[in-house]
């Protein structure tokens, strides 16, 4: 899936679920992390390693659970400054990290619609459907349909 579609879909899903701009921004940034980390580690030779360890859902689910345990507050646009003034910077960072991980996990779920991703073995692509090819018209139809569903739920 193209990065812009990952970001659009993640933003739509997270904002519909949370109605929270901070969590939506963090998740949207996290939604490109699984591909971005491959580029940082493997450079332009990432094709042979694409959708392997960086796309293993377990890493991100553990991160979500861990950061959820430590993020004892919900950070919103309206309380961000107050929490900062009260010295809750660590809680703010845990909250943001949790939604960053949510975005990365959503990236993997989205990729499972256009190919295979690891399920139990982080080095083996074994789960997914090939509903459309990356960058195809089908990807944009899928993205549009999900957005329409999210807008309908939100309204």
Give the pTM.
0.90
Question: Average pLDDT of the chain?
Answer: 91
Whole-angstrom Cα distance, residue 78 to residue 63? 26
CA 42 to chain centre: 21
Q: What is the pLDDT of residues 36-95, one digit of tens each?
A: 998 888 777 666 667 888 999 999 999 999 999 988 888 888 888 888 888 888 989 999
Whole-angstrom Cα distance, residue 91 to residue 132? 40
Query: How far is residue 50 from each of residues 8, 13, 65, 77, 151, measured CA to CA in Å?
Result: 21, 24, 25, 36, 32
């Amino acid at each position: 899936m193209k990065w812009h579609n990952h970001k659009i879909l993640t933003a739509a899903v997270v904002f519909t679920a949370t109605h929270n701009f901070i969590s939506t921004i963090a998740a949207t940034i996290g939604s490109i992390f699984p591909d971005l980390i491959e580029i940082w580690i493997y450079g332009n030779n990432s094709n042979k390693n694409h959708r392997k360890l960086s796309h293993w859902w377990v890493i991100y689910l553990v991160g979500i659970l861990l950061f959820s345990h430590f993020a004892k507050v919900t950070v919103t646009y309206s309380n961000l400054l107050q929490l900062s003034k009260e010295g809750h910077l660590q809680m703010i960072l845990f909250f943001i990290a949790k939604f960053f991980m949510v975005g990365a996990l959503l990236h993997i779920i989205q990729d499972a619609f256009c190919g295979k991703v690891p399920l139990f073995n982080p080095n083996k692509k074994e789960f997914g459907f090939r509903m459309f090819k990356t960058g195809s018209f089908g990807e944009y139809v899928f993205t549009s349909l999900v957005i329409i569903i999210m807008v309908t739920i939100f309204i």
